[in-house]
Chain A
């Protein structure tokens, strides 16, 4: 078994742990009304905003938010996911404060603040687009249970395999579950409505 396979298995275990934890919380919430156990996803972080300034996760305190990890050279899943979040936020009809959309790069080598700014402009709605050093991104990915790996392409460049679920957080910062790429818009909208009303 090579290193890549071991890494994949380890990330799969992290994913399973997150899913298991979520299932546990959901089950608890449905059967026990008092003090549901909280799954800890994520940790305080400081990254670089698309204007080059430092961005502390403290700025998300008291604000519902949806975090998506991707990269600007991603032509398919990333723009589709971010455009969907932007569209659903509009559909909620509660303005841009309904929830923050946070886009974190898993490709910090290519995604500097300028690239992140250009990419964020595609969505004609405010988007927090964060990058950082390799070490910073590694640490944030780890705390949020996000997998990513560079894969060479035939043009001498590379693509990045990555976790593509959207992570949802309530106003109090607690983890509120995920939106998978395949989930329908009505389901995703309900989840976003829930965090926006949290």
Chain B
């Protein structure tokens, strides 16, 4: 009887515990401009939901998540505090949408010198990726 009760409790606990996220970050790239640049990547999640809290690039300077939005022909860029990563879903940081704005000293980002980005998630913790730096005239796949 006790064994059965334990099994029931275990089943309930398992059912109520959110599935762990399984995050993978692919296609990182930084587009460099003289005053900084923008980082783009894709977050794949095959597990439970998570939340992207911050992106840091200690070697470059300030980094902050932004989203470009369009209202007719007018574009606006606004800081984003956090990004919800849906269970089993992807979030794409791409040109003209979500991006990480990088601000460093002039010329801090040079094509050919990859930069490490530390990406912090609420549940998955910190993940570090290396992003190649490209000039703005690198191919624009998004269009």
Q: Which residues of A contact B (CB under 8 A)?
A: 11-12, 15, 72-77, 79-80, 82-84, 86-87, 115, 118-119, 122-125, 147, 151, 153-155, 157, 159, 161-165, 178, 180-182, 184-185
Contact = CB atoms under 8 A, between A and B. Distances in A.
Contacts of A122: 32-34, 135-137
Contacts, number: 110
A84 B31 CA distance: 14
Contact of A123 (B66, B76, B137): B137
A125 B101 CA distance: 25
Given A87-B137, A155-B62, A184-B143, A79 B31 contact: yes
A110 B36 CA distance: 14
A163 B106 CA distance: 26
Interface of B: 31-38, 62, 64, 66, 68, 70, 72-79, 95-96, 99, 101-103, 106, 135-140, 143
Contact of B99 (A75, A147, A162): A75
Contact of A76 (B79, B96, B103): B96
A181 B99 contact: no
B143 A84 contact: yes
A182 B139 CA distance: 16
Nearest to B34: A118
A181 B96 CA distance: 8
Determine the main DSSP class of B at the interface with A.
strand
A159 B99 CA distance: 14
11 contacts: A11-B74, A15-B74, A73-B36, A75-B31, A75-B99, A76-B66, A80-B95, A83-B135, A122-B32, A123-B136, A161-B74
A77 B136 contact: no
Contacts of B137: 83, 86-87, 122-125
A15 B33 contact: no
Determine the main DSSP class of A at the interface with B.
mixed
Contacts of A155: 62, 64, 103
Contacts of B136: 79-80, 82-83, 122-123
Contacts of B77: 74, 76-77, 151, 159, 161
A175 B66 CA distance: 34
Given A122-B33, A122-B34, 17 more contacts: A15-B73, A72-B34, A75-B37, A76-B38, A79-B136, A84-B143, A119-B34, A122-B137, A123-B136, A124-B135, A125-B137, A151-B77, A159-B77, A163-B74, A178-B73, A180-B73, A181-B96
Nearest to B39: A75
A67 to B, nearest CB: 13
B76 A75 contact: no
Contact of A161 (B76, B99, B101): B76
Contacts of A11: 74
Contacts of A86: 137
A75 to B, nearest CB: 4
